[in-house]
Amino acid sequence: DAGITQSPRYKITETGRQVTLMCHQTWSHSYMFWYRQDLGHGLRLIYYSAAADITDKGEVPDGYVVSRSKTENFPLTLESATRSQTSVYFCASSESEVAYEQYFGPGTRLTVT
Amino acid sequence: GQNIDQPTEMTATEGAIVQINCTYQTSGFNGLFWYQQHAGEAPTFLSYNVLDGLEEKGRFSSFLSRSKGYSYLLLKELQMKDSASYLCAVTDSNYQLIWGAGTKLIIKP
């Protein structure tokens, strides 16, 4: 089915471990985004990508790494997980960065112990 | 700094009308979005305003005043399924989306 998917949906990991969150979209949208959502905060942009092999930092990029070798995939890696990275992570895509709605994946709930 | 303010929580009665306000202070303005987010789910798009005025879409309407840095989302004929958080987001001069913390709307029968 067309859409945007994320995996895993739930993940528990230990401090210091590397974790990769996957995001896949089937619309061939140019733009993809990674957000984290914490209680009391709005969605905060971690990284975004305008096209394959083009990525840029958002508001809170420290401790995260992204890549985009194919248009449809945009994985997010936590190189050495910390408790402060416990959050819900949303991937989103859009046709354009401006004036277009973003379509969100179902989210990954990550707990770092 | 950039800031978007929304009430944290609102309560309304089924069948009534509710207005959710959003004020913003951003470096530039290139549009304002409203999203709906049910608990445990992803945000979904509701509306987009870039010019002043009212945009109506069924039971939902969104208003924008750029000179006042102000928007509201109006929900009519409230239904229990409208219980959700409503997120206001502004595109700034760098075409980055700045998100408010959201307004949790509770609908009572």
Give the chain A residue nearest B101 (alpha carbons): A42
Q: Is residue A1 scored above 80 in pLDDT?
A: no
Q: Are B105 and B34 in contact (CB under 8 A)?
A: no
Cα A72 from chain centre: 13
Cβ contact (<8 Å) for A43 and B43? Answer: yes
pLDDT in tens, B33-56: 999 999 999 999 999 999 999 999
- How far is the C-alpha of A46 from the C-alpha of A44, rounded, in Å? 6
Q: Is residue B94 scored above 90 in pLDDT?
A: no
Cβ contact (<8 Å) for A98 and B89? Answer: no
Q: Is residue B93 scored above 90 in pLDDT?
A: no
Residues in chain A: 113
pLDDT in tens, A80-106: 999 999 999 999 999 877 667 899 999
B91 touches chain A (CB under 8 A): yes
Q: Which tokens hold the place of B59?
A: 């039971």
Cβ contact (<8 Å) for B33 and A101? Answer: yes
Tell me the chain A residues in contact with residue B95 when contact means C-beta distances shorter than 8 Å.
97-98
- Distance in Å, alpha carbon of B48 to nearest chain A alpha carbon: 8
State the Cα torsion A99-B77-A40-A75 to the nearest 10°: -40
Closest by alpha carbon to A67, among A85, A52, A88?
A52
Among B31, B44, B100, the residue with its CB nearest the CB of A99 is B31
- Please state, rounded to an integer, the average pLDDT across all residues of chain A: 93
Cβ contact (<8 Å) for A43 and B50? Answer: no
Better-predicted residue by pLDDT, A11 or B27: A11
Instruction: Show Cβ contacts of residue A39 under 8 Å, excluding neighbours closer than 6 positions.
Output: none
Tell me the chain A residues in contact with residue B39 when contact means C-beta distances shorter than 8 Å.
none
pLDDT confidence of residue B7: 97
Find residue B23's DSSP bridge partners: B5, B70
A57 touches chain B (CB under 8 A): no
